[in-house]
Amino acid sequence: MSSSDTKIITVIGSGLIGRSWAMVFASGGYSVKIYDNQPGQSTKAIVEIKKQLQELEDAQMLRGEATALQQVALISSYDDLSQALEGAFFVQECVFEQLEVKQSIFQDIERLVGKDVILSSSTSCLVPSNVFSKVQNRSRCLVSHPVNPPYYVKLVELVPHPETAPAVMDTTHTLMTKVGQAPVRLRKEIDGFALNRVQAAIIAESWRLVQIFQSSPLRKPVPLDLSRWHPISTFCAEEESTNTEPDGKNWLTEKVDDYCCDIY
Ligand code: NAD
């Protein structure tokens, strides 16, 4: 049996994104092994996932054919990386957004898996050539950049490393489609990927609107909830954008500046 027949996916990191990916893959019938380097963290993640899946089932919003309990039964937790990776054909990394942390975990993972195992990163904006620079066999590496949380927002950007094999992009595209996501392929890596660039333009324009509304004597600023799950999150224009610092900057301007610096 080839490793891709085993239907095991390993999720590395059991935070917000890792838990949501685990739910997505389990909804597609895959066995999911979650690993976190904080002892007990992945076990806690399963408790949280079980609660979420039961709530989704009650609200008739559960994805997939199986019941919530059947899906939870597909997910297991590990504090040991080698055990977590055993039998997996696909690895979805979801650790902190820090280049060194990602480079290090992919080095560890590569030592423990076969050459045909696909290594996929959830990074928000680190380009694949940096994330995978310490991996020896980079033809099986790519970024699968989700929108937070992937269980609810299906768009996922597939961003190749310059050495990524076309078959790896194809397999990942097929997998993502099979579990109900809406994958979009980028032909090559680019700073900010596509999604962040489009999102940055929307945020910048929305911020300009906030400023226009603020300067109008006839209009009150409106609260804009542009991207509920994004780090820049809810634009409470009425309360926050008027909180101007002595240097003329304010909370929202700084948030927008930080975000644009992060992605480019
Ligand atoms: P998080 O902080 O909620 O979770 C990170 C988890 O990784 C923690 O449980 C932590 O213990 C674990 N971890 C850290 N180092 C580890 C290691 N070496 N080995 C194993 N586990 C480790 O972070 P998150 O919001 O889930 O983000 C995860 C990734 O997804 C990041 O790269 C982030 O940029 C990306 N992402 C986040 C969002 C978002 O809006 N939150 C959206 C898209 C992509």
Question: Whose alpha carbon is nearest atom 8 of ligand 1?
Answer: 15
* CA gap 26, 42 in Å, rounded: 15
Encoded tokens for 36? 């976190």
| CA-based R_g, the chain, Å | 20
The pLDDT-based confidence of 207 (bands split at 50, 70, 90) is confident
* CA gap 216, 32 in Å, rounded: 53
Q: 10 Å Cβ neighbour count for 153? A: 16
Give residue 62 CA to ligand 1 midpoint distance, Å.
24
Question: Whose alpha carbon is nearest atom 16 of ligand 1?
Answer: 95
The shares of helix, strand and coil residues in the chain, as percent rounded to the nearest 5, are 45, 15, 40
For the cut 90, the answer to whether the pLDDT of residue 232 exceeds it is no
11 lines ligand 1 (CB under 6 A): no
Query: What is the arithmetic mean of pLDDT over 117-134?
Result: 97
User: What local confidence, expressed as pLDDT, does residue 112 receive?
Assistant: 98
- Measured from the CA of 20, which atom of ligand 1 is nearest? 26
Give which of 86, 102, 98, 183 is closest to 141, Cα–Cα: 102
- Measured from the CA of 14, which atom of ligand 1 is nearest? 9
Bond prior to 150 in cis (omega within 30° of 0):
no
Question: Whose alpha carbon is nearest atom 28 of ligand 1?
Answer: 94
* Distances from the Cα of 35 to the Cα of 14, 120, 146, angstroms: 7, 15, 19
User: What local confidence, expressed as pLDDT, does residue 228 receive?
Assistant: 41
Q: Judging by DSSP bridges, how do beta strands 182-185 and 155-160 pair with one another?
A: parallel
Q: State the pTM of this model.
A: 0.86
Question: Whose alpha carbon is nearest atom 14 of ligand 1?
Answer: 95
262 lines ligand 1 (CB under 6 A): no
User: What local confidence, expressed as pLDDT, does residue 233 receive?
Assistant: 41
Give residue 148 CA to ligand 1 midpoint distance, Å.
11
In testing the pocket of ligand 1, which one of 10, 11, 14, 16 has its CB within 8 Å of the most ligand atoms? 16
- Measured from the CA of 104, which atom of ligand 1 is nearest? 18
Question: Whose alpha carbon is nearest atom 44 of ligand 1?
Answer: 124
User: What local confidence, expressed as pLDDT, does residue 209 receive?
Assistant: 87
Digit-coded pLDDT (tens) for 34-93: 999 999 999 999 999 999 999 999 999 999 999 999 999 999 999 999 999 999 999 999
E strands, 204-248, where? none
Please name the helix (run of DSSP H) or strand (run of DSSP E) that holds residue 261, with its range, or none.
helix 251-263
Give residue 131 CA to ligand 1 midpoint distance, Å.
14
Digit-coded pLDDT (tens) for 10-37: 999 999 999 999 999 999 999 999 999 9
In testing the pocket of ligand 1, which one of 124, 131, 159 has its CB within 8 Å of the most ligand atoms? 124
* CA gap 84, 179 in Å, rounded: 21
Residues 75/46, Cβ–Cβ less than 8 Å:
yes
* CA gap 143, 28 in Å, rounded: 20
Digit-coded pLDDT (tens) for 148-197: 999 999 999 999 999 999 999 999 999 999 999 999 999 999 999 999 99
* Distances from the Cα of 241 to the Cα of 62, 156, 168, 214, 228, angstroms: 38, 31, 45, 9, 17
User: What local confidence, expressed as pLDDT, does residue 217 receive?
Assistant: 60
Q: Percent of the chain, pLDDT > 90?
A: 74
More confident residue, 216 or 241: 216
Cα distance from N-terminal residue to C-terminal residue, the chain? 43
* Strands of the sheet with 141-146, listed across from one edge: 75-78, 31-35, 8-12, 90-93, 118-121, 141-146, 155-160, 182-185
Give residue 144 CA to ligand 1 midpoint distance, Å.
13
DSSP string of 126-163?
Answer: --HHHHTTT-S-GGGEEEEEEPSSTTT--EEEEEE-TT
The pLDDT-based confidence of 241 (bands split at 50, 70, 90) is very low
* CA gap 241, 253 in Å, rounded: 8
User: What local confidence, expressed as pLDDT, does residue 218 receive?
Assistant: 52
* CA gap 119, 130 in Å, rounded: 14
The pLDDT-based confidence of 212 (bands split at 50, 70, 90) is confident
- Measured from the CA of 95, which atom of ligand 1 is nearest? 7
37 lines ligand 1 (CB under 6 A): yes
